[in-house]
Structure 1
């Protein structure tokens, strides 16, 4: 699965991304979650600034904690939180066993994806928490793909 995750990060890149884009992407994610009956929290950051945050009914403060822990992984490694966790699973171990990072601060669980600018690199994060980790990851990837398609057309 790791090559697929790598391909996603290469494909889902932006020419530009600003506060208005964060609002549009975040609103799209919230709409998708509502349509599917998912209780999730959605968070988008540009650098250190939280520019979008929405906690749907059925979520708890634990979702905010998961978001912070996933974001730390993406900021540290520059890759999606699911890809980082999967890279350890592919080697027959776990992030928690081998990364030597405090699991109270870092979670290599799916749902956080870097906002990558072409020619620049990661400038922010988009994160979902509330579903099983692969579903969190897939929801973010789907929304990013739809968002980028809408900008290309």
Structure 2
């Protein structure tokens, strides 16, 4: 399983923004969703991570997997995290980090229903050159920074960066 990240290794807003600028697709097809989702499943199985994995593009679910130990709650978290990416155009972890950097929380200051939106790590934008954010890849089941790192690791491999 992915090791738990210690607070001193928590990424800054600037580091998270740089990560997003680096992880941009040239295109994103149904086959790309399958390949990326399958790699996430492999990584999660290697770590015995009890996660659910979801990939959406333009409102359509292109990939979903629920590994042993995941629960229906993980699917609810996926939906809430995905809505944050769709609304803000950046990772759910970055959104939450921006609020924490201002000395508050997403739940206290966003004015959005926490039953509908969760600025917790694990949802990442699928950003295509020249098109912007066209979808999301989301993992739920681990501590939020570990969810985020799992998605980023798979994206880095897929994009070879």
Deviations 1:52-111 (A, max 9, x none): 000001011000000000000000000100000000000110000000000000000000
Measure the CA separation in 2 of the matches of 1:34 and 1:59.
12
Work out which of the residue numbers 138, 149, 153 in structure 2 matches 1:127.
138
Instruction: Report the TM-score, using the length of structure 2 for normalisation.
Output: 0.92
Q: Is 2:91 aligned against 1:80? A: yes
Measure the CA separation in 2 of the matches of 1:88 and 1:39.
28
Q: Is 2:58 aligned against 1:39? A: no
Deviations 1:103-153 (A, max 9, x none): 00000000000000011100000000000000000000010000011xx8x
CA RMSD for the aligned pairs?
0.8
Match runs of 1:1-153 below 5 Å: 1-149=12-160
Measure the CA separation in 2 of the matches of 1:136 and 1:60.
15
Instruction: Report the TM-score, using the length of structure 1 for normalisation.
Output: 0.97
Q: Runs ≥4 in structure 1, deviation > 2 angstroms?
A: none
Number of equivalences: 150
Q: CA deviation at 1:37?
A: 1.0
- Unmatched 5+ stretches in structure 2: 1-11
Measure the CA separation in 2 of the matches of 1:28 and 1:69.
23
Q: SS of 1:126's equivalent?
A: strand
Measure the CA separation in 2 of the matches of 1:83 and 1:137.
10
